[in-house]
Each structure stands twice: as C-alpha cells, then as structure tokens.
Structure 1
C-alpha cells in the first residue's frame, strides 16, 4: 500500500502545494502549512545522510513534527513522493532507493 502511495505522485506543477494537499487527503492535519512544507522538504536531505534509513528519518520527522510514528511515517512517504524526484525515478524503474520493507513495521503500513 505504501509503495503505491509513493508511486502515486500528484500531477500539479507545484510540489509544495501538492504535498500540503496530500497531507490533508491522508488525514494528517497541519496547523501551519509553511512549517509542514519545510519539514517535508527536509526529508530528502535527511535520507541522504550517511547511516540514515527510512525508519530513522520517519522517527525524526515524527519527533520534529510532534506526531506519532504512524503519521510521521506517512508524512515521510508523502514528502518523498513530493520532493525526492530521484527516489521516484528509481521506483518507476523498478528499483528501491530506500528499504520499502521497513514501512511494513511502522505504523501498520
């Protein structure tokens, strides 16, 4: 399910607006869309740090955003879909740029 969520990127030309819209659609409310966008845009750089993986990044996002791990993991996946075009290209080519199996153990995905 989450792999499909990552592949189903919105079609608009503005990834920030698409990201904020996708959070609302997923039921992840945000009091401050600008802060949510900033946190979402920080996901790709977090993932690219040595030793980081999806679980660590989702935990950092959840902590920073003041949410539990389930919504933090979904937020992270939506941010990857919106702001990490390299990851999305890899998925489209059948490659996994991140260990998607980790999503099964986080938040019931």
Structure 2
C-alpha cells in the first residue's frame, strides 16, 4: 500500500487536530488551582482558632495588611487596630490575625523588622 501526498497530509492534519483538541480538553478539565499562600494563611487562622472568619473576608483583609504596613507612619499596632475594625473582632485576635498575615503575605516585612530596617515596598 502506497500513500500519496494528499493522503499523508490529511492523516497528519487529522492527527494534529485530534492532539490539539485533546490538549484543550485536558486543559479545560484540569481542576482550578487555589492560591497556595491563601491556603497556608487560612490553615494558620484555623490552627490558631481564628478559622470562624469567612474565608473571603479573611483573605481580603489579610492581603490588605502589607499595603497598610507600607503606608508612612504605620506600624503593626496601627494595622492591627484597623484589622480589628474591619473584622469586628477584639484587638487580641486581630493582632494574632495581623501577625499571621504579615508572616505569610509579606515576608519582606518580617526580614526588615528582624534587621531593624524600615519596611518599604519600594526599596
């Protein structure tokens, strides 16, 4: 059996089309991947018995901690007070929440604090 050029071209085109369709199907069927940093943060909140905060709210407020820290004149105590207001929680749990958010979402701030260097996103 001898294949002529048009038959080979059709076979190759069909194979490429099937492979491309299979790739698209596999990509579409792949499960959505959650942000691992957010998962770590929510797990830490749960570990320290702050897991009763809505996950969406906890993530939103946790991600706001780093930009709040970067504002001129802010410190962890001021940010914790804002977090307490935002979450409607007492200052104690809000301080724990803030500390966890700093550790997980802005490790550069932790390094700066331990080095005694003022924290900035711009430096």
In structure 1, what is the equivalent of residue 94 of structure 2?
72
1:42 to 55, 61, 64: 64
Alignment length (residue pairs): 84
Q: Which has the higher contact order (CA 8 A, sep 6+)?
A: 1
Corresponding residue for 2:77?
A: 55
SS in 1 for 2:50: coil
Distance 1:29 1:66 in 2: 14
* Residue 23, structure 1, aligned to residue 45, structure 2: yes
Residues 56-96 of structure 1 deviation map (CA, whole Å, 9 limit, x = unaligned): 100000110110000000000000011002123336xx414
CA RMSD of aligned residues (A): 1.8
> TM-score, normalised to structure 1's length?
0.69
Bigger helix fraction:
2
**Structure with bigger gyration radius:** 2
